[in-house]
Amino acid sequence: MSLDLDKNNICKEEVFDTFFKEQATPLRNYLYFKFGDLDQAEDIVQEAFIKLWNNCSKVVLEKAKSYLYTVAVNKGISMMRHNQVKFKYKNYILGSKSEATQESPEFLMLEKEYHEKLKRAIASLPERQREVYLLSRIEKKTYREIAELSGVSIKAIEKLMHKALVKMRKEIGTA
């Protein structure tokens, strides 16, 4: 039919591809922050997109994102029920790209130690705080976007963010 319809039809390969490239990374990071395992998150992303593709005729493009997140989160929850995952960060969270620096070896050592403490502190956060903290700081999402994603008020997100930061400081201070 009209071009307009095709543009919104996920059964069209180009539409599906564009949608995948736009959504795969944010979804994968969201699932990682929420459930704590990056490899598992990538598996879930794949399954969710396969399911979307299989049902492409029934899902309009505007609804595709919420469909995708619902499928993925349900999958994550059912996996979590089986093996509670501690937040894993080894090889998943990397420090900033270190360019050749003029810094002294002692300074670099301290930096490394601090990074380790920081990641451990992130891993120690309760699930909801961790999710909000990382979505905000690493994914650069606004409180409003995070609130929409998890279906709670912006106020609730601000509270979680505040709590997360207080806990982070305590963890790092005593570690």
Judged by DSSP in three states, 128 sits in helix
- Exposure on the CB side of residue 114, measured as CA atoms within 13 A: 9
For the record, the structure tokens of 44 come out as 């879930």
Judged by DSSP in three states, 91 sits in coil
| Number of residues in contact with other proteins under rule CB under 8 A | 61
Helical axes 127-137 vs 13-35, angle rounded to 10°: 130
Nearer to other proteins, 2 or 96 (CB): 96
Applying CB under 8 A, does 83 fall inside the site for other proteins? yes
Residue 56 DSSP code? T
Smallest CA-to-CA distance from 79 within 117, 113, 29, 41 is with 41
Figure out which of the listed residues 15, 93, 123, 152 binds other proteins, where binding follows CB under 8 A. 93
Write each residue from 94 to 133 as x if it is in contact with other proteins (CB under 8 A), else as -, in one continuous string: xxxx----------------xx--xx--x----------x
Applying CB under 8 A, does 46 fall inside the site for other proteins? yes
In this chain, which stretch among 1-9, 62-70, 145-153, 154-162 interacts with other proteins, using CB under 8 A? 154-162
Beta carbons within 10 angstroms of residue 66's beta carbon: 12
Binding footprint of other proteins on the chain (CB under 8 A): 11, 17, 20-21, 24-25, 28-29, 32, 38, 42-43, 45-47, 49-51, 53-58, 75, 78-79, 81-83, 91-97, 114-115, 118-119, 122, 133, 136-138, 143, 155, 157-159, 161-163, 165-169, 172-173
